[in-house]
Amino acid sequence: MQVSVIIPTYNRVQTLIRAIDSVLNQKSPVDEIIVVDDGSTDDTANQISRNYPNVKLIRQSNLGVSAARNAGIKQAGFEWIALLDSDDTWMPEKISAIQQAQQAQPEILLFHSEEIWIRNGVRVNPMNKHRKSGGWIFEHCLPLCVISPSAAVVHQSLLQSAAYFDETLPACEDYDLWLKICHQFPVAFLDRPLITKYGGHDDQLSGQFWGMDRFRIRSLERLLEQQQLTRQQYFAAESMLTQKLNILLNGAKKHSNQEVIDEFSPMLDRIKNSVNSQNSVAC
């Protein structure tokens, strides 16, 4: 298993250094580290060039995390891609544990693990809705993202088949990618914490956008339009889309957000009409 590590970053030079060091401290070394500087205006490029000469640095204008990850993935020299966000870290045994799991399950092309959460310097316990699992987890992926990018090691072929991260989504791009992969392939889950996720800082994507379900709704809509799901997967995805639309529109009506009402009400109407037509045919 030869591994390229992809670390996207934007104005996070201090946490980026911590992230890189956690990769360099692996018991089983990786084959390549690629840092994609997504238009940083701090000292990121100079620090990496000066202090980490063996790290491949890609610089681009600020295009967002999806574009940064995709740029790194497409220039990776090895078939396995390990993702790491620049504010997270790996445990020293992360790569060796994944390698052992891959040797035991050579048919699996996506591995992820349990994680430790630190928020504002304090360890917190994830809620049940964030519970991780393995196998055919498509329906478990529908409510929200249940694979952390920093925990994932994925074969290049899966990323290519899913057309990589969707660069049109400003957030929930990981949710979108895992749905595109997990309706076609099983995943392996290592039930031990192999990464530490750090939250609570101002530049987290989850804190920059209101109504994150807007992006999940768009992802679900496109997935249903592709007509590649099994019957069970289709109805599960359609049910989740309906649920998310109802919640979003109820909130929009409560706050008189006409823009959201105008954008998403027609989508809900189309689903209701489709369901009614299917029920009529069944009768």
Structure tokens at 139: 């329906």
**Looking at the structure, do residues 165 and 70 belong to the same domain, yes or no?**
yes
**Looking at the structure, do residues 131 and 200 belong to the same domain, yes or no?**
yes
**Looking at the structure, do residues 38 and 147 belong to the same domain, yes or no?**
yes
**Looking at the structure, do residues 191 and 83 belong to the same domain, yes or no?**
yes
Q: 211 in helix, strand or coil?
A: coil
**Looking at the structure, do residues 149 and 225 belong to the same domain, yes or no?**
no
**Looking at the structure, do residues 176 and 219 belong to the same domain, yes or no?**
no
**Looking at the structure, do residues 185 and 92 belong to the same domain, yes or no?**
yes
**What stretches of the chain adopt beta strand conformation (E)?**
3-9, 32-38, 56-60, 80-83, 89-90, 110-119, 122-124, 153-155, 188-199
**Looking at the structure, do residues 144 and 173 belong to the same domain, yes or no?**
yes
Provide the pLDDT for residue 199. 83
Q: Which domain holds residue 270?
A: 213-282
Tens-level pLDDT at each residue, the chain (283 residues): 999 999 999 999 999 999 999 999 999 999 999 999 999 999 999 999 999 999 999 999 999 999 999 999 999 999 999 999 999 999 999 999 999 999 999 999 999 999 999 998 899 988 888 889 999 999 999 999 999 999 999 999 999 999 999 999 999 999 999 999 999 999 999 999 999 999 876 666 655 667 799 999 999 999 999 878 999 999 999 999 999 999 999 999 999 999 999 999 999 998 888 766 565 544 4
The domain boundary residue, chosen from 176, 207, 238: 207
The domain boundary residue, chosen from 181, 207, 233: 207
The alpha carbon dihedral of 44, 163, 129, 97 has a sign of negative
**Looking at the structure, do residues 182 and 235 belong to the same domain, yes or no?**
no
* pTM more than 0.75: yes
